[in-house]
Structure 1
């Protein structure tokens, strides 16, 4: 059933109402990653020598260029981990428009959802980011102690974190904060499974740019299914 929520969300990715949010999400996510890469390049430029002299070889002038290419490869690898907080941060800001498009197509006739104040969105997002960073640091330390467990820790921990955040934001529009928390505690395994499903494309560079919007749509479907509503369109 979780896979059906994902497939419905994927099928709507190029819906006219979805398209603007999709490109905005990709653009902002890419801009954040590019900004981080620019900062990394600036650090390379400050600390990397323009040329060095090596014994028996002489002067080597391409060290800074090589470090620039290495930093690009490093950034692509780091984007796997950076997109986890980026996807979480974007969820609160995009979900209202994404959920509106999903509901207009699949759940017509619903009353207007309650608006979540921007201040609450920012507060919740920052609080969640702090939890996400601390938990991932702990998981990273554990994976260093036992490397074979690293993939399971990444998907398991971030699946739980992403599922918790996405579902809370999706359900809060119609259930309120307390109601969303109650629903989340009632269906922990389903929400964790959907979160793990979202964590998988986060590990694929470029594809991971789609996750903030795709996750918001998937969890909108999941919320309505757990609330007992069936989509009118397959």
Structure 2
């Protein structure tokens, strides 16, 4: 079911509406990554000054490096970690549009739903980002204690959190938040697996740019499949 949902999402990339949202999502993802990276460099500059010598990288001038090829490579590497909160932010912005495009194509009999108010979506996003960032900061301890398992901890933890958020948002727009939570608890294993399979490509630079939007479409399909099961 999970792979079927994902392949349906990929197949819809030819849909002009879906392609527009995908392009917007990729553009915003890049913008958020650059902004996050710039904030990271500003923080480094504040901690160590405008010039510093870093092992492997050598002397770092933050403003110059921000525009350099070396910095671009570093940003791609850093995107492995930054893409998780970025993916969370992207879904709250575009899930309604993505889900509606999916439903118009695959579930045309369904009535349109009211789009959630912007302030409500923003509040939910901020709350979830807080949980996501806190969990990832705490997970650094586990990465140090269990280095060989770090990547699996990263995938499993973020898969659980992202799957939970994506599914809840996709379900709540149709059946309301209380019922969405019930359905999520009932199918927690499937949702966690789907979230983990989403978290894995999020850790691959460049490929991770398309995952937030494809993930929103995939979880829309997953919701409808699980909702039919009850």
Q: TM-score, normalised by structure 2?
A: 0.87
Partner of 1:48: 51
Post-superposition shift, 1:140? 1.7
Does the 8 A contact of 1:85 with 1:132 survive in 2? yes
1:74 aligns with 2:77: no
Partner of 1:26: 26
Q: What RMSD in Å do the two structures reach over aligned CA positions?
A: 2.2
Q: Deviations over 1:123-167 (max 9, x none)?
A: 111100000011111112111111011011011000000100000
Correspondences of 1:184-195 after superposition (within 5 Å): 184-195=184-195
Cα distance in 2 for residues equivalent to 1:40 and 1:127: 21
* Alpha-carbon spacing, 1:64–1:158, altered in 2? closer, same or farther (3 Å): closer
Point out where structure 2 has 5 or more consecutive residues left out of the alignment: none
Does the 8 A contact of 2:50 with 2:61 survive in 1? no
Partner of 1:167: 167
Task: Tell me how many residue pairs correspond in the alignment.
Answer: 218
Q: Which has the larger radius of gyration?
A: 1
Cα distance in 2 for residues equivalent to 1:18 and 1:211: 13
* Alpha-carbon spacing, 1:146–1:5, altered in 2? closer, same or farther (3 Å): same
What SS does the corresponding residue of 1:109 show, helix, strand or coil? coil
Point out where structure 1 has 5 or more consecutive residues left out of the alignment: 52-61, 230-234
Q: Deviations over 1:186-233 (max 9, x none)?
A: 10000001101111110111111111110100000000001118xxxx
Partner of 2:122: 122
Stretch deviating more after TM superposition (1-10 or 36-45)? 36-45
Cα distance in 2 for residues equivalent to 1:182 and 1:121: 20
Partner of 2:148: 148
